[in-house]
């Protein structure tokens, strides 16, 4: 009688690719020699991530990493230093996300030299000198790079110069809370302006950085998170110059910055923008959302979560965005039935709507039922007592996902 152990390697590879890391490392590879060999096949690990918990012990991390010669993606937010183990046993790594791990420069150099397939790196700079960035700058393969200093580390000048002059394949850059002069960051952006496709900035920001970003003509995605403005801010993102831009994100940004975005959008329509995130502003942003709807007719995805002062007035022109499919308005506590009315009547293609954390009135609920093409509706944390929820099924027949806990 045939059994699973008689299956050819090609079929085993397909089966193993559906398992998780623990299944592969703790079970499958210990069954027999054939399964151990197949479990190390590159196709099995093609899309598999190892994301250990912060509480995982160092010894457990080391033991598992030794059984993952074909590991591609490692995402770890803990602090145990296992970089040496990975450099020795996981030489096929493509993406290494270790933003809180501390290690010496020599270990980073070893990793860069041994991990020949490494394309993505997220690290925390723990040296006050440019030793870390000099090593990173030597990489010939890095496409994605995320840098942070944090912890009040005061760095020397020329910290970013090695990356500006090196990392020739770099296309995606994230700078989070870098404690270095603005001039250095601007020089880095100027050096990479012909190749950079994605940029994300967190922390302190000055108008000069906006000027440098406007020179990166190939940018497709631009993100700003948890921004604090430094000095006068009279510059704006030039959407006219950044003609490849499809996504912009301004999450947790001050109103000064959002108003500059609104001014830029008022200059000319931006038909290529498809995704916008304006979440978690402490200010009233109705005029900003209004400018978005008027200037971005191709908008497909909009995130407004956490704007507690957003009301119906800010959504009155949503009808100009007929392509809108995804709308996130979690914790927008000032929303009323007119806001949902604008959405229901103006967004015929809407498939995803998140109103979690809001006070839903009967009038609002009745307007939600008019969103006929919804596939996902999230109403988590909403008091729906007294509403006839059966109407959701009959009025929105194509709905596949509903969360109301």
DSSP code string of 10-38: HHHHHHHTTS-HHIIIIIGGGT-HHHHHH
State both tokens at 155.
């760095």
State both tokens at 321.
């965005």
Q: Residue 402: CA atoms inside 13 Å, Cβ hemisphere, count?
A: 15
Beta-bridge mates of residue 172: 144, 198
Distance CA 45, CA 40 (A): 8
* CB of 71 closer than 8 Å to CB of 93: yes
Output phi, psi for 402, to 5 deg: -135, 125
Distance CA 209, CA 164 (A): 15
Residue ranges in the chain modelled with pLDDT below 70: 1-5, 30, 127-129, 150-157
State both tokens at 51.
């994301």
Which domains are delineated in the chain? Answer: 8-48 (1.20.1280), 293-405 (3.80.10.10)
Q: Which residues contact 47 (CB under 8 A, 6 or more apart)?
A: 17, 72
* Helix 286-295 vs helix 255-265: crossing angle, to nearest 10: 30
* CB of 300 closer than 8 Å to CB of 324: yes
What is the structure's pLDDT at 326? 99
Alpha carbon 36 to its chain centroid, in Å, reads: 35
What is the structure's pLDDT at 23? 78
* CB of 230 closer than 8 Å to CB of 204: yes
What is the structure's pLDDT at 188? 96
The C-alpha angle 234, 156, 111, rounded to 5 degrees, equals: 110
**Global pTM value:** 0.90
State the residue for tokens 């995982």.
56
The helix or strand, by DSSP H or E, that contains position 385, with its residue range, turns out to be none
Distance CA 214, CA 365 (A): 43
Rg over CA atoms, the chain: 25
Q: Which residues contact 63 (CB under 8 A, 6 or more apart)?
A: none
DSSP 6: G
What is the structure's pLDDT at 1? 43
């Amino acid at each position: 009688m045939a059994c699973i152990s008689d299956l050819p390697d090609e079929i085993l590879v397909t089966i193993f690719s559906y398992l998780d890391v623990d299944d592969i490392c703790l079970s499958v590879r210990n069954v027999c020699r054939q399964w151990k060999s197949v479990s190390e096949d590159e196709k099995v690990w093609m899309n598999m991530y190892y994301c250990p918990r912060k509480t995982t012990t160092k010894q457990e991390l080391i033991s598992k990493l030794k059984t993952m010669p074909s590991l591609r993606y490692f995402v770890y937010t803990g602090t145990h230093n296992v970089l040496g183990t990975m450099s020795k046993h996981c030489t096929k790594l493509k993406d290494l996300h270790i933003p809180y791990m501390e290690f010496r420069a020599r270990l980073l150099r070893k990793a860069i030299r041994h991990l020949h397939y490494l394309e993505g790196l997220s690290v925390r700079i723990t040296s006050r000198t440019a030793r870390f960035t000099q090593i990173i700058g030597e990489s010939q393969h890095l496409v994605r790079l995320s840098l942070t200093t944090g912890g009040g580390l005061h760095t020397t000048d020329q910290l970013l110069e090695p990356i500006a002059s090196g990392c020739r394949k770099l296309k995606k850059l994230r700078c989070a809370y870098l404690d270095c002069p603005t001039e250095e960051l601007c020089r880095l952006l100027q050096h990479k302006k012909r190749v950079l496709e994605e940029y994300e900035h967190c922390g302190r920001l000055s108008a000069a950085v906006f000027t440098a970003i406007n020179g990166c003509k190939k940018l497709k995605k631009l993100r700003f998170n948890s921004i604090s403005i430094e000095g006068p801010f009279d510059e704006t993102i030039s959407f006219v110059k950044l003609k490849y831009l499809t996504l912009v994100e301004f999450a947790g940004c001050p109103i000064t910055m959002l108003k500059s975005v609104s001014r830029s959008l008022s200059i000319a329509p931006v038909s290529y923008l498809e995704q916008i995130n304006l979440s978690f502003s402490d200010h009233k942003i109705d005029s900003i959302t209004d400018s978005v709807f008027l200037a971005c007719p191709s908008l497909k995805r909009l995130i407004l979560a956490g704007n507690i002062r957003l009301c119906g007035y800010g959504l009155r022109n949503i009808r100009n965005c007929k392509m809108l499919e995804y709308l996130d308005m979690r914790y927008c506590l000032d929303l009323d039935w007119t806001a949902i009315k604008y959405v229901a009547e103006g967004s015929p293609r809407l498939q995803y709507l998140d109103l979690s954390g809001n006070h839903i009135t009967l009038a609002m609920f009745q307007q939600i039922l008019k969103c006929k093409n919804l596939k996902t509706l999230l109403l988590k944390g909403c008091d729906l007592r007294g509403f006839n929820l059966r109407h959701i099924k009959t009025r929105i027949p194509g709905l596949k996902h509903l969360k109301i806990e």
